């Protein structure tokens, strides 16, 4: 039964622009549709928040945050966001439509992957996360469901809906708890997630790709969480004997329980992955997982199955978040056939083209995919190889080594290939040449000594060196003039990578003790503060106070505070005490008279004669019914003999 027929949005046009054609995925937070942008005539994915959640400001803010975050990345390995809007109860994101499957689909169907395939998928994932990390974002929800493998062979990272700024503290609740298999220990224990939380999740995903199983399992989320906190991720070779030690090392460092042991972000992990790949032999890269060996012994030879594009709703509960982005099939699956794919196995229905494209473009698998006519060949994968090895591989392919340029790189080891032109996998004439860019290693910058400089000059000096002026704080200094740089963090002479931030501490000058000017005239108070090097601001509104009209009733900062030269002291002028009516207490008992006057806001003095046997008030210094300043003293006299 086609459930899309029951969806009220199918067939509608949102915002007069997006025609909703089919529902392709449903999550706890949103539904994803295939839609047509009628203005640009292009197919896209429309992610629409469930109307029941649209009234919740936090959910709407998360939607908008996702749009802004991904739009800032603009990376080829990140699912792009084109537009964000709302119509009535429908809040939506217009996103890039990725026709293909998820890494979860591949793992569910095939289990463990060959190391070459696992690394070919992991590298673009790390490139995408590295771009996010360098832009100041943390994904926080990395898992196979959010790795899309397109029909065009590209690998993309999806679902930045849980993105947060680097260093922010977040609680491990809601959709994050839906993916406990990939939570870093610090996310569980402290609720914090920085770039190293994404690194941890990638280590878990790599383990799963190499072994076909998650490292931590249990009947309940609590059991999985306990293992994250108390047990190291096991070496992949423990489950798949024969895997190279370099792969065990990658998983161990990426998924270390202590975040200080892990690479600091995805860029650093990518460098380690490239280094490990370069150290592996062809046999180690193409080590066949146990289930593939069994299929070969069963006589399957090189035949494999067509990997299905399974519906995202079929994922394990522990692997789901509150929304889904991967489009499932929009047309009937192709007939069963025996076609070659890089994974090996028995043919089944699904998206052969998606997986074959990505794995072949990334240089994975065996068998014959392209039979050239003798005039053309394909550029081999050279990334991460030494210049000498790259030249030999080109020569073995019948190609010439062309121009070799060199460039700084923070992620690619010195002397190894950063890129080639044409790129790996592109067609080239059999006698053509390939140009290379080889890494010169990381460029190191010495922090200049800007002590004594003005803030503007210090910023210019840092920018000229390729460093980023960072946070500016101020403090008092007896030796540095106001506005001069006292010190930097890191200090001058320290070595840092380009674009590293340098914090500056600027002098506020010598401290000034603020005097007490309350009760002084506004003119006198202003003169005294100005002589000390302070600025004066007179508050526009006067207030009632015990001070005389025109005198200072209040000051900010208060007396005894420390201020810097040029700081402003705000003075509030008194309009005198408030005049209030005096109660008539003549004839009353002295105690009752005192209470009545004090309740009205006056001070009370009782005048008793030397000899008196009465406690009755005979007179008062201000007659009842007259007005007197609030807080002033009223004298009551007691009857004598």
Residues 111 and 81 in one domain: no
Q: What does the pLDDT look like over 381-401, one tens digit per residue?
A: 888 889 999 999 898 888 999
Domain boundary among 77, 95, 113: 95
Residue 41 a catalytic site member: no
371 within domain boundaries: no
Q: Give the domain CATH number at 16.
A: 3.30.200.20
C-alpha 449/C-alpha 467 separation (Å) is: 13
173 within domain boundaries: yes
Q: What is the pLDDT of residue 364?
A: 36
Residues 598 and 565 in one domain: no
Q: What is the pLDDT of residue 502?
A: 93
C-alpha dihedral, 575 to 580 to 586 to 588, nearest 10°: -120
601 within domain boundaries: yes
> How is residue 583 annotated by DSSP?
P
Determine if residue 301 is left, alpha or beta; phi over 0 gives left, psi from -120 to 50 gives alpha, anything else beta: left
Residues 202 and 329 in one domain: yes
Q: Of the listed 105, 120, 141, 567, which one is catalytic?
A: 141
Domain boundary among 95, 130, 163: 95
Residues 354 and 423 in one domain: no
Write out 304-337 in H/E/C secondary structure.
ECCCCCCCHHHCCHHHCCCCCCCCCCCCCCCCCC
C-alpha 94/C-alpha 80 separation (Å) is: 9
Domain boundary among 507, 541, 557: 507
Residues 60 and 204 in one domain: no
Residues 339 and 283 in one domain: yes
Q: Give the domain CATH number at 569.
A: 3.30.10.20
C-alpha 479/C-alpha 436 separation (Å) is: 54
Residues 491 and 569 in one domain: no
Residues of the chain with pLDDT under 50: 1-4, 165, 167-178, 292-374
Residues 490 and 426 in one domain: no
236 within domain boundaries: yes
Structure tokens given for 154: 């590209």
Residues 59 and 199 in one domain: no
Phi, psi of 152 (to 5 degrees): -85, 5
251 within domain boundaries: yes
Residues spanned by the domain of 612: 579-638
366 within domain boundaries: no
367 within domain boundaries: no
Residues 456 and 431 in one domain: no
Residues 496 and 523 in one domain: no
C-alpha 594/C-alpha 381 separation (Å) is: 98
Residues 302 and 253 in one domain: yes
Structure tokens given for 626: 């007259």
CA atoms lying within 13 Å on the CB side of residue 215: 33
C-alpha 338/C-alpha 303 separation (Å) is: 6
368 within domain boundaries: no
CA distances from 432 to 386, 395, 396 (A): 20, 11, 13
Would the pTM count as exceeding 0.75?
no
Q: How many domains does the chain have?
A: 6
C-alpha 554/C-alpha 558 separation (Å) is: 8
């Amino acid at each position: 039964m086609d459930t899309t027929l029951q969806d009220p949005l199918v067939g509608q046009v949102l915002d007069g622009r997006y025609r909703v054609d089919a529902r392709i995925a449903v999550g706890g937070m949103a539904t994803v549709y295939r839609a047509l942008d009628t203005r640009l005539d292009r197919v896209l994915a429309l992610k629409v928040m469930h109307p029941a959640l649209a009234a919740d400001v936090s959910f709407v803010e998360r939607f908008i945050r996702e749009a802004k975050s991904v739009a800032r990345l603009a990376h080829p390995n990140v699912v792009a966001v084109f537009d964000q809007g709302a119509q009535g109860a429908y809040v939506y994101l217009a996103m890039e439509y990725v026709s293909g499957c998820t890494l979860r689909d591949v793992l569910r169907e095939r289990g463990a992957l060959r190391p070459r395939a696992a690394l070919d998928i992991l590298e673009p994932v790390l490139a995408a996360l590295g771009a996010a990390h360098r832009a100041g974002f943390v994904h926080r929800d990395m898992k196979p469901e959010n790795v899309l493998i397109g029909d065009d062979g590209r690998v993309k990272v999806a679902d930045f809906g849980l993105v947060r700024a680097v260093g922010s503290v977040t609680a491990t609740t809601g959709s994050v708890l839906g993916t406990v298999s990939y939570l870093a220990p610090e996310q569980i224990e402290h609720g914090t997630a920085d770039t190293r939380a994404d690194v941890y999740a990638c280590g878990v995903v790599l383990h799963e790709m190499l072994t076909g199983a998650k490292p931590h399992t249990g009947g309940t989320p609590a059991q999985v969480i306990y293992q994250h906190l108390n047990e190291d991720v096991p070496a992949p070779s423990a489950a798949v004997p024969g895997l190279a030690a370099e792969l065990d090392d990658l998983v161990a460092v990426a998924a270390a329980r202590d975040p200080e042991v892990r690479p600091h972000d995805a860029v650093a992990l990518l460098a380690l992955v490239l280094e490990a790949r370069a150290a592996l032999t062809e046999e180690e890269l193409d080590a066949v997982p146990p289930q593939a060996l069994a299929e070969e012994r069963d006589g399957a030879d090189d035949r494999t199955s067509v990997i299905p594009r399974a519906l995202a709703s079929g994922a394990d509960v522990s692997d789901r978040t509150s929304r889904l982005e991967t489009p499932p099939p929009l047309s009937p699956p192709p007939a069963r056939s025996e076609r070659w794919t890089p994974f090996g196995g028995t043919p089944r229905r699904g998206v052969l083209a998606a997986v074959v494209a990505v794995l072949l473009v990334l240089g994975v698998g065996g068998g014959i995919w392209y039979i050239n006519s003798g005039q053309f060949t394909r550029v081999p994968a050279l990334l991460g190889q030494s210049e000498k090895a790259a030249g030999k591989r080109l020569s073995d392919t019948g190609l010439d080594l062309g121009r070799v340029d060199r460039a700084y790189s923070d992620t690619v080891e010195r002397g190894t290939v950063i890129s080639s032109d044409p790129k790996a996998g592109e067609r080239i004439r059999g006698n053509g040449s390939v140009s290379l860019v080889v890494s010169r290693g990381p460029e190191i910058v010495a922090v200049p000594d800007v002590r004594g400089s003005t803030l503007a000059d210090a910023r210019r000096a840092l920018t000229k060196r390729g460093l980023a002026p960072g946070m500016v704080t101020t403090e008092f200094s007896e030796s540095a003039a106001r506005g001069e740089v006292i010190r930097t963090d890191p200090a001058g002479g320290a070595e840092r990578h380009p674009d590293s931030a340098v914090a500056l501490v600027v002098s506020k000058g010598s401290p000034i003790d603020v005097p007490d000017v309350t009760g002084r005239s506004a003119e006198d108070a202003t003169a005294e503060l100005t002589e000390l090097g302070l600025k004066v601001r007179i508050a526009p509104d006067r207030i009632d106070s015990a001070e005389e009209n025109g005198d200072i009733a209040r000051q900010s900062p208060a007396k005894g505070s420390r201020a810097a030269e040029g700081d402003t002291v705000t003075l509030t002028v008194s309009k005198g005490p408030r005049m209030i009516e005096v109660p008539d207490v003549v004839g009353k008992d002295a105690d009752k008279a005192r209470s009545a006057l004090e309740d009205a806001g006056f001070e009370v003095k009782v005048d008793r004669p030397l000899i008196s046997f009465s406690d009755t008030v005979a007179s008062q210094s201000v007659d009842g019914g007259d007005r007197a300043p609030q807080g002033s003293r009223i004298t009551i006299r007691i009857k004598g003999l």
